[in-house]
Structure 1
Amino acid sequence: MEKSSFTKPHISVVILNYNTFQLTLDCIASIKKNTPPAIVVEYIIVDNASANNEGALLATEFQNSSDIKVIKTQINLGFGAGNMVGAQQATGSFFAFINSDVLFTQDCFSEMVSFMKTNKDVGVCGIQILNREGQKTISQRPFEGVRYKLLGKKLLYKTDATIPKINAELKKPTQVDFVIGSFMFFNASAYRECGGFDPNIFLYYEEFDICYRLKKLGYKTMFLPHLQYIHLEGQSGAFNILKKKEHLLSYLYVVRKNLGIFKFWIIKNYLLISYFFKAIFKPKYLPMFTFLLFRGESLAHSIRHLQKQLEKK
């Protein structure tokens, strides 16, 4: 313990806590259990204005842990800004942004550190996700541009053989467009160079955005299929209508920011037409159509600005 207090950590683990007190404790315990002493890790917990005084409870829980720091925010900053708060306190050579509902079942860090040290052109990597039943789930995805939306995944893969299929059984480290955000392992220098997570994005598509920006800077996003972790998924809130709208807002923001106004308008109008015809046969799509038609491209309508409503969901 004393050694870690004075030794620069190899890895800074940043975990957002939002009403997931026990999950956060379990997450950290699983990482500690499966990480050898040779890998020095510091843990930065950002409590994103949880209910029931969870931030204070976490601070009390870890008050005697020299390798764990708890930061409490006054409002829910969302994924991007919350992680940026944690990253400002990070001192490691590598940053691991890990969801509170993640459990390690093996030593993931040793090989990831070795891989990143050997491959200096890699900005971020991810590994295979398992669900609570131990089944493999989607762990990497292609950028969702015009071809993806208009042609679908199958035709996208046919027009670009370099893009791995979402459910491909990959056997070796493979370059992908982006990895799922429940566990992203960054070269700290690359993370800082690209500006980190975009705090304008409250929820969803943060991985698309940051991996796209890293790619523009010449960094690769790599998927390491032989390493695995469990993601319990969705433990901090249901995917309700507010979050569906937020999902759409974030997607359109990321598309406009990274792909340009022309592709943005193609995708937006495609989605409008798609929601219109879906709403004719399935009324549940009508709120999404009207939302996109009248205000679906402005972050002014993000649930970031609806903190009280968000707390109830």
Structure 2
Amino acid sequence: MLEKTTSAKPLVSVIILNYNTFQLTLDCVASIKKHTPLNVSVEYIIVDNASANNEGVALENTFQNQDDCKVLRSQINLGFGAGNVLGSQQAKGHYFAFINSDVLFTEDCFSEMVAFMKSHTDAGVCGIQILDGDGRKTISHRPFEGVRYKLFGRKFLYRTDARIIKINADLKMPTQVDFVIGSFIFFSAKAYRECGGFDPNIFLYYEEFDLCYRLKKLGYKTFFLPQLNYVHLEGKSGGINRLMEKEHLLSYLYVVRKNLGFFKFWIIKNFLLFTYIYKAPFKPKYRPLLKFLLFRGESLSHSLRHQQKQLERD
């Protein structure tokens, strides 16, 4: 059984980004509190990412009398990476839990996750099974998307490397994987700080690929714990559109070049370019990506990050 820490330092720091998801954020915090036992001390750091309609003020008013909750208000939408950096700078826990606002706990997750991390000192981060709003299992971990993955697909990757765990494998025990999905990702605070934390250059997408790859280079492992579940109301905190598809492409190419090197980046970029050229005449959805990559390139100067406007201070 976990023992409650006797110091003012909490066991777990929960960091939640709010971006126009006021009610989802309230529901998320309430579900965590409902299912977390009193002997697991938790602090909640909520970062409002320049939401509309004074949601940051509303969050401050809601949590102002709750000593375990702190609200940080950014005057500009920092994106996922930098927003979590802002929150983690205020975190004091032994473990950091970065949780999307559209997540709901249905059981006590922290007790087993902390116990596992304590007994596996080489574990830098872990994740658990994601359920959709209807209670069905969804993809919760993935392989690194390198050259073999992009050129030949996941099945080829599985056949050529037995160490790669299939995304739909029926796992019963904690298992080492490449990276876990970032809607709820649980770090050793020591490992998180050692790898440098979230890359603020990434506005959206592939943050967990980047983090888990950097942790791997430092000798830490990423684990998936299939015996625990949480609900992710995917899409509630942000929809997918053409701008997001372009952001997805930019983030992927940035993470590949940063972590896998220029040669693999060059192969993947040109493979994607030729794929878009081949498919665009028959599938219109590829035409914007082809035009974007062909004429604007992969530079993060085209990221949505640079289109954010600062809010006026109160």
SS in 2 for 1:304: helix
Cα-to-partner distance string for 1:149-183 (whole Å, 9 max, x where unaligned): 01100010000011100111111000000000000
Inter-CA distance 5–103: structure 2 relative to 1 (3 Å threshold): farther
Inter-CA distance 247–218: structure 2 relative to 1 (3 Å threshold): same
SS in 2 for 1:38: coil
Does residue 1:185 correspond to 2:186, yes or no? yes
Q: Post-superposition shift, 1:10? A: 0.2
Distance 1:12 1:252 in 2: 31
Map of 2:157 onto structure 1: 156
Which shifted more, 292-301 or 14-23? 292-301
The residue correspondences of 1:145-294 to structure 2 (distance < 5 A) are 145-294=146-295
Percent identity between matched residues is 75
Distance 2:5 2:123 in 1: 27
TM-score by length of 1: 0.96
The answer on whether the counterparts of 1:5 and 1:67 sit within 8 Å (CA) in structure 2 is no
Map of 1:311 onto structure 2: none
Does residue 1:307 correspond to 2:308, yes or no? yes
Inter-CA distance 42–5: structure 2 relative to 1 (3 Å threshold): farther
Q: Post-superposition shift, 1:5? A: 11
Inter-CA distance 120–214: structure 2 relative to 1 (3 Å threshold): same
Which shifted more, 235-244 or 215-224? 235-244
Distance 2:130 2:198 in 1: 21
SS in 2 for 1:280: coil
Cα-to-partner distance string for 1:69-112 (whole Å, 9 max, x where unaligned): 00000000000000000000000000000000000000000000
The answer on whether the counterparts of 1:18 and 1:49 sit within 8 Å (CA) in structure 2 is yes
Q: Post-superposition shift, 1:235? A: 1.1
Distance 1:5 1:93 in 2: 13
Distance 2:212 2:186 in 1: 12
The answer on whether the counterparts of 2:131 and 2:231 sit within 8 Å (CA) in structure 1 is yes
List alignment gaps of at least 5 residues for structure 2.
310-314
Question: Partner letter of residue 243 of structure 1?
Answer: M
Distance 1:147 1:53 in 2: 46
Q: Post-superposition shift, 1:6? A: 6.1
Cα-to-partner distance string for 1:123-143 (whole Å, 9 max, x where unaligned): 000000000000000000000
Does residue 1:55 correspond to 2:56, yes or no? yes
Distance 2:263 2:144 in 1: 16
Does residue 1:12 correspond to 2:39, yes or no? no
Question: Partner letter of residue 177 of structure 1?
Answer: D
Distance 1:240 1:307 in 2: 17
Question: Partner letter of residue 188 of structure 1?
Answer: A
Cα-to-partner distance string for 1:46-80 (whole Å, 9 max, x where unaligned): 00000000000000000000000000000000000
The answer on whether the counterparts of 1:103 and 1:231 sit within 8 Å (CA) in structure 2 is yes
Distance 1:284 1:227 in 2: 37
The answer on whether the counterparts of 1:80 and 1:197 sit within 8 Å (CA) in structure 2 is yes
Q: Post-superposition shift, 1:8? A: 1.3
Cα-to-partner distance string for 1:208-249 (whole Å, 9 max, x where unaligned): 000000000000000000000000011123201000000000
Distance 1:19 1:5 in 2: 36
SS in 1 for 2:77: coil
Distance 1:102 1:143 in 2: 24
The answer on whether the counterparts of 1:27 and 1:100 sit within 8 Å (CA) in structure 2 is yes
Question: Partner letter of residue 8 of structure 2?
Answer: T
The answer on whether the counterparts of 2:176 and 2:224 sit within 8 Å (CA) in structure 1 is yes
Q: Post-superposition shift, 1:4? A: 8.9
Question: Partner letter of residue 256 of structure 1?
Answer: R
Structure 1's consecutive aligned runs of 4 or more residues displaced over 2 angstroms after TM superposition are 3-7
Distance 1:59 1:6 in 2: 26
- Aligned-residue CA RMSD (Å): 1.2
The answer on whether the counterparts of 1:179 and 1:223 sit within 8 Å (CA) in structure 2 is yes
The answer on whether the counterparts of 1:129 and 1:139 sit within 8 Å (CA) in structure 2 is yes
Question: Partner letter of residue 99 of structure 1?
Answer: N
Distance 2:79 2:266 in 1: 27
The answer on whether the counterparts of 1:4 and 1:67 sit within 8 Å (CA) in structure 2 is no
